[in-house]
Amino acid sequence: MAGPWTVVEGDPPVPDTLKIVVAGGFGAGKTTLVSTLSEVESLHTEEIMTSRSVGVDDLAGVEDKTTTTVALDFGRITLDASTVVYLFGTPGQRRFSYMWEELSQGALGAVVIADTRRLADSFDSIDFFESRRLPFVVAVNCFDGQRTHRAEDVRVALDLAEEVPLSLCDARDRESVKGVLVELVELVLRLELAGAQGPL
DSSP per-residue codes, 114-129: E-GGGGGGGHHHHHHH
pLDDT digit string, tens, across residues 72-115: 788 998 877 788 899 999 886 666 677 788 889 999 999 999 99
pLDDT at 81: 78
pLDDT at 51: 47
pLDDT at 198: 56
pLDDT at 4: 41
Domains of the chain, CATH where assigned: 16-49+63-194 (3.40.50.300)
pLDDT at 96: 66
- Which of 2, 94, 75 shows the shortest CA–CA distance to 32? 75
Residue 170 has pLDDT above 90, yes or no: yes
Q: Sheet of 83-89: strands edge to edge? A: 43-48, 67-80, 83-89, 16-24, 109-114, 136-141, 166-169
CA atoms of 148 and 184, how far apart (whole Å): 24
Global confidence as pTM: 0.76
* DSSP-derived secondary structure letter, 89: E
Average pLDDT over residues 6-31: 75
pLDDT digit string, tens, across residues 131-161: 999 999 999 998 765 567 788 999 999 999 9
pLDDT at 56: 46
- Which of 189, 16, 38, 29 shows the shortest CA–CA distance to 111? 29
* DSSP-derived secondary structure letter, 145: G
